[in-house]
Amino acid sequence: MTEEDLLTVDELAAAVGLTVRTTRYYAGLGLLPAPVRRGRVAYYGPLHRAYLELVRALQDHGFTLQAVERYVASLPDDATVEDIALQRTMLTSWTSSPAREVTKRELEAEAGRKLSATDLDLLVRLGLLTRHGRGWRAMPNLRIGLELLDLDIAPEGIGAAGDAITRHMDALADELTEILRAEVLAPYRRDAHTPEEAARLEATLPLLRRLTLEAVVAGFQRAANAVITRSLAR
């Protein structure tokens, strides 16, 4: 780490988009390696920034600070910037925005009407809403569920469709993740790599996520058309 790489806590916080107070708090919890000392001033480098960005990625997934602490503590002591960046890239949310905390009043404002207990239960069943303390945690795609509520379809039918989607998507996500680990990450980790090669892999994974989502949609469309064709042929 060169002198040019060193940042003050103010500069580190600004680089990651956090407040200085939050950055100091995370450092105090041991979520960052010990800083480099120059007299009374603490300096931080690329590894500290990588850890801080990893912490943010974990929180975007809804990890509590206690869970984040356990995860960070499980990382090897000799983890490099590239290792931490790869961990973060693997954990980066597939959605464009994190879940958000809302009140029932805010939910009803978004829905444009009062929401009954049945409505809320259905949104929970669809995985679009979860209880969070005295309020709720809404998923980024809550809008889909609110639009489904307005359809003239029995809630049980919507719920059954949601159950089927969740069941198959969970299995698909598990299988695709295992393929990624076995066919991409395991071969990569077997050999030493330059920072440039690590950066290329880090840039490749977001593109792979986008293409995977597009392939899932295209695959469902193809399968649905095949079902229609078979139905017409009978």
Q: What is the DSSP letter of 5?
A: G
> Do 12 and 44 contact (CB within 8 A), yes or no?
yes
Give Cα separations from 117 to 6, 181, 202 (angstroms): 54, 41, 44
pLDDT tens readout for residues 25-50: 999 999 999 998 888 888 999 999 99
Q: Higher confidence at residue 2 or residue 202?
A: 202
> Do 89 and 56 contact (CB within 8 A), yes or no?
no
pLDDT class for 1, splitting at 50, 70, 90? low
User: What is the mean pLDDT of the segment spanning 162-185?
Assistant: 91
Annotate 54-97 with DSSP letters as a single string. HHHHHHHTT--HHHHHHHHHTS-TT--HHHHHHHHHHHS-SSSS
> Do 211 and 94 contact (CB within 8 A), yes or no?
no
How does the average pLDDT of the chain come out, rounded? 89
pLDDT tens readout for residues 20-31: 999 999 999 999
pLDDT given at position 2: 60
0.75 surpassed by pTM: no
pLDDT given at position 37: 87
pLDDT tens readout for residues 179-197: 988 888 888 878 877 878 8
**Residue with structure tokens 């239960």?**
121
pLDDT tens readout for residues 192-227: 778 788 888 888 888 888 899 999 999 999 999 999
pLDDT over 60 (residue 230): yes
Q: Where are the beta strands (DSSP E) in 76-213?
A: 100-102, 129-132, 135-138
